[in-house]
Amino acid sequence: MGYLIAPMGMAAVNVAIPALAEELQANAIKVSWLPTLYILANVALMLPFGKLADNYGRKRVYAMGLLLNALASLMCALASDIDWILFWRFVQGASGAMIFGTGVAIITSVTPSEKRGAALGKLAACVYVGLTLAPAVGGWLTEFLGWRSVFYFQIPLMLMLLAFIYLKLPGEWKNDEHSRFDWVGSCIFITFSCTLVYGLSKLPSLLGLSILSLSLLSLVSFVMHQRRDPQPLIRVQMFRESRVFSLSLMTSFFMYGSNFAIIFLLSLYLQYIKGYGPAYSGQILLMQALLMAIVAPFAGKLADRFEPRIVATTGCVIVGLGFALLIRLDTNTTALYISASLALIGLGFGLFSTPNNSAIMGAVKEQEVGVASASMNLSRTIGNLFGMSIVNLMMHFYIGDETFNASNNAELMSTISLALMMSLTFVIIASVVSAMRGRQ
């Protein structure tokens, strides 16, 4: 339920962004930060929360994430200024790190290894059902009740789920022995995440290059610190010990880097360039997640029977075909063509995600499933963050601090076209890496 509700609340906001931007007079740069800040908080806090969950209880951290998500949704709905919404979107992203960083670990803890693929397939299906409902729900709510309702509707769902957890989900899942929490490593990693995003947004200025240099230095420092620390947030040796583990994470990075910004950009395209309403735009955008929801459970079973590498790589290639169709997008492209392209991308992602996740979780020791779960989600969210940060840079270059209107539709179209080319390039790289990962 949590993996259905949380993605639905996260993604429904994308369809409401044009209405939100119009009422609050938000410029293009601040609008592009709405999805970026959510993902930034996810990336920066995923590993620390994964470690805390291993020590103090995965259910406890998961439940606290639901409560924080409800609070952040309420504050976003009440906000009258875009800057406050940006702040609470960051908080909402932190709650997402608590939810997504622990849920897979709980499932893995209670599932036999021979059934892990099927279990993760069901979990992935829940995510994709949430993402399927999100554009339609966000569109209908925005069109008939206003953009604030997109935040309000999440609150009772989160509170109901929280009550259900405490009443019906007994027990706790955590390591038998506490390990020391690495505060220094956490701070270094948060510095890396924040400087990466801000530096990319300031390119090609000298300030942007300087901040990106600091980000690279922070990443190197983090890796060195984790290698020396006796109780690290993540054992960097895991990446050398298992080729399957490291290359599966790399594949995930490129695949999700290709995909996250697309729904955001297509929502702007459909409403600003094509002139469709939020409800109709949402119905078009749901095609991708709908196919993902249908295919993911079957892909999980295929991963239990066949080599996950083969199933996942096939999915990567199909996603590439979908993006090859989408790069032809222009002002005259029909809704049917866009829906068919998104359906093809959804089919490929449904085949890719569960086998790839199963390969990651099956390549680590039992006592490290919490960190592996966080690493898996981290590769996804860093990919999302990297892709969205590059789109922010494109927005800054083509549109700058102007508000969206008919006069800059050509610039918006240029941004979308360039972003789609970037996505196709990422998927091609992911397909090659996935094929190289070796046997489970």
* Whole-angstrom distance, CA of residue 376 vs CA of residue 368: 12
Under 8 Å CB-to-CB from 336, ≥6 apart: which residues?
A: none
* Whole-angstrom distance, CA of residue 293 vs CA of residue 195: 35
**Which alpha helices (H) appear in 307-368, and where do they start and end?**
308-326, 335-361
Give the pLDDT mean for 398-409.
Answer: 78
pLDDT surpasses 80 at 128: no
pLDDT tens for residues 298-350? 887 787 777 778 888 999 999 999 999 999 999 899 999 999 999 999 999 88
pLDDT surpasses 90 at 135: no
Tell me which DSSP letter residue 114 carries.
G
pLDDT surpasses 90 at 75: yes
C-alpha radius of gyration, the chain, whole number: 20
Higher pLDDT, 36 or 91: 91
* Whole-angstrom distance, CA of residue 248 vs CA of residue 237: 15
pLDDT tens for residues 334-347? 999 999 999 999 99
Give the pLDDT mean for 62-69.
Answer: 92
- 389 near 201, Cβ under 8 Å? yes
Tell me which DSSP letter residue 229 carries.
-
Predicted local distance difference test score (pLDDT) of residue 367: 63
pLDDT tens for residues 218-270? 989 988 888 888 777 677 777 777 788 888 889 999 998 998 778 888 988 99
Question: What rounded mean pLDDT belongs to the chain?
Answer: 84
Predicted local distance difference test score (pLDDT) of residue 77: 92
* Nearest residue to 377 (alpha-carbon basis) of 47, 139, 59: 47
**Which alpha helices (H) appear in 146-277, and where do they start and end?**
148-152, 154-168, 183-201, 206-228, 237-241, 243-268
pLDDT surpasses 70 at 136: yes
Mean pLDDT is lowest, of 171-175, 220-224, 279-283, 326-330, for 171-175
Higher pLDDT, 205 or 321: 321
pLDDT surpasses 80 at 191: yes
CA dihedral over 315, 320, 322, 323, signed as positive or negative: positive
The two tokens of residue 185 are 């490593």
pLDDT tens for residues 380-392? 878 888 888 888 8
Predicted local distance difference test score (pLDDT) of residue 437: 78
Predicted local distance difference test score (pLDDT) of residue 27: 83
pLDDT surpasses 80 at 294: yes
* Whole-angstrom distance, CA of residue 218 vs CA of residue 212: 10
CA angle 155, 142, 80 (to 5 degrees): 70
Model pTM?
0.76
Q: Give whole-number Cα distances, 224 to 228, 232, 297, 323, 331, in Å.
A: 6, 11, 39, 38, 49
pLDDT surpasses 70 at 427: yes
* Whole-angstrom distance, CA of residue 101 vs CA of residue 273: 37
pLDDT tens for residues 80-119? 889 999 999 999 989 988 888 788 778 877 788 777 777 8
Proportion of the chain in helix, strand, coil states, percent, rounded to 5: 85, 0, 15
- What is the identity of the amino acid at 102? T
DSSP 254-298: HHHHHHHHHHHHHHHIIIIIS---HHHHHHHHHHHHHHHHHHHHH
Look up tokens 């509700």; give the residue: 5
* Nearest residue to 301 (alpha-carbon basis) of 355, 353, 340, 260: 355
